[in-house]
Amino acid sequence: MALLLMVSKRLWIITAVLALAGASAGFLAGRHAPQDHSASATILISPLEGNAFYPSSRGEQLINLTTEAQVLKSDAVADLVIKKTGASSTPAALLQGLSTTVPPNTQLIGISYEHRNQATALERAQAFADSFLDFRSIRARSYLDGQISGIQTETKQLTEQMAELTKQLKASGTSAVDKTVLEARLNAGAGQLAALGARESALATTRIDPGQVITPASLDQAPIIGTPEIFGIAGLVGGLAVAAALMLFSARGRRVVKRKGELEVFSANCKALTPTSMPVSRGASSATRSRSAQAADFVAFRSQLLALMQGGGKRVALVASAGPQSESPRCAAALAEALSTARIQTLILDTTGKTDIHGGPATGAPGLGEILDGTMTLFDVAQAVGPFLKILGPGKFSRDSEEGIPTQRLNELLADFKRTVDVVVVLTNDLSQPLAQSLVASVPTVLMEVELGSTRHVEIRAAQYICSGLAAELIGLLVIDPSRPHRSPLLPSEPAPDKFPMEETASGNGVFHGKNA
């Protein structure tokens, strides 16, 4: 629990650090990032002759000012801006910073120009406003000049026609009837000339008013939240997102293992087994089908365990309890039963003194501690439980050797044990304890109990990390289901010798027979 609290505290610290780092990095990036400045101007469009908004147009003839706004963004207007400002840009490049708006039901066009330089943005916004009005004036003048030129051409033609008619009228051979017709035509021509003259005079005196800039260009007010602040907020969000991902990953790690299937994420490195004891055959109250199912589970567990141990020729294995809540491995009985019923000479080395195996040494009996200090030998203290199982308790080790066992001395003892038995199973507490870690240094093959509903994913990860750091291998996870009863093995009722000779080698016909190296 202390480990989990420490991890949680560190995660909150990491979250704060990541959030602060992200906000700082974003703010600095925003300070150095290119920033566009915006300037705006507003123009009022006046009706012009030759335009849909000219004074004599009817309301239904008016077109939407969107057309004028599109004209404002044309290359022709951009050319005028280039001439006015002396910019070296092309019309297309100049128009990239321009945007226009048309408020509904008005004759206004809003002009906005963005540029990294404030002065340039201000200059070009005003230049586009002025140049567009100039363009409208040029376009209107061109229309009026065209109209006047057409009238002048028509006037000249009509004058020439009237001169010819006058010449015919004054001729001596013209009859009275012809004279009457010629005079009528001359009078009509004079009326036409008067109308053309009046139209030309009206066009020549037409005042061209393309509109006016009602709001000169000015820099737009900077937003309350500038680019540095926006980048800072984005960095903060990014840092929090990374921290959230880490916390989610950590939360998944702290999640309690509820089903055996959840251990598949660890299957790349270790195998998940479910320890099962032999079914009770004598005096059993369970149904035959239940005993058969338990027998099948036991056989399956034994096969998996033997395959796991035999796969790498492993003869010494360390079994760690599920965690601080377990003083000793709960599956010790099932392990002992599985190995001994396979006729494998097995030595259970219990360093916890808490393992309850039927027929094992009594509490306080001499054991490993006495062997370590040289006062006794394995021949003196090992307790035989059946023909293929011996148990060695901690003796005074649990009282006098809490800091661990000297690695060299333990290696020598294990070498002696392997000359006597096929397999040595060392029982210890959870791997976060110094004692267990000192044992891992000498027993690099490790199996760890996983109690459903209690063991957390992070504890399994921590166990893998500890084993990796001590050059050991976590080869198996022994899944303990608290809802299933566990009992001490009922070994065969054959009489077991009080002692077994130290010089006798493993004589069983199990799969490890003869591997005494």
Phi, psi of 192 (to 5 degrees): -65, -40
Cβ-based neighbour number of residue 497 at 10 Å: 8
Tokens found for residue 517: 């190296």
Tokens found for residue 395: 């003796």
Measure CA 234 to chain center. 15
What does the pLDDT look like over 320-376, one tens digit per residue? 888 777 778 888 888 888 888 888 899 998 888 877 776 667 777 888 888 888 888
> Are the beta carbons of 355 and 328 closer than 8 angstroms?
yes
Q: Which residue has the tokens 């490049």?
A: 93
Q: Which of 224, 248, 222, 244 is nearest to 22 (CA)?
A: 244
Q: What does the alpha-carbon distance between residue 455 and residue 479 come to, in Å, rounded to a whole number?
A: 10
Tokens found for residue 273: 């087994």
Q: What does the alpha-carbon distance between residue 463 and residue 392 come to, in Å, rounded to a whole number?
A: 25
Provide the pLDDT for residue 79.
93
> Are the beta carbons of 315 and 345 closer than 8 angstroms?
no
Q: What does the alpha-carbon distance between residue 295 and residue 279 come to, in Å, rounded to a whole number?
A: 6
Specify the pairing of strand 108-115 against strand 98-101. antiparallel
Provide the pLDDT for residue 123.
92
Intra-chain end-to-end CA distance of the chain, in Å: 42
Q: What is the pTM of this model?
A: 0.50
Alpha helices in 312-402 (DSSP H): 332-341, 368-372, 378-381, 397-400
In order along the chain (517 residues), what is the average pLDDT of each group of 10 residues? 50 71 68 73 77 48 71 92 89 92 88 90 92 90 89 91 85 82 86 89 83 88 64 75 70 72 72 74 49 78 82 79 80 87 89 75 79 83 86 73 69 86 89 84 88 85 86 87 60 37 35 37
Tokens found for residue 134: 């100039």
Measure CA 505 to chain center. 59
Cβ-based neighbour number of residue 171 at 10 Å: 11
Provide the pLDDT for residue 128.
94
Q: What does the alpha-carbon distance between residue 71 and residue 132 come to, in Å, rounded to a whole number?
A: 8
Provide the pLDDT for residue 495.
37
Provide the pLDDT for residue 100.
93
Helix (H, G, I), strand (E, B) or coil at 14: helix
Provide the pLDDT for residue 517.
33
CA distances from 496 to 164, 390, 488, 491 (A): 155, 10, 17, 11
What does the pLDDT look like over 146-183, one tens digit per residue? 989 999 999 999 998 888 888 888 887 778 888 888 88
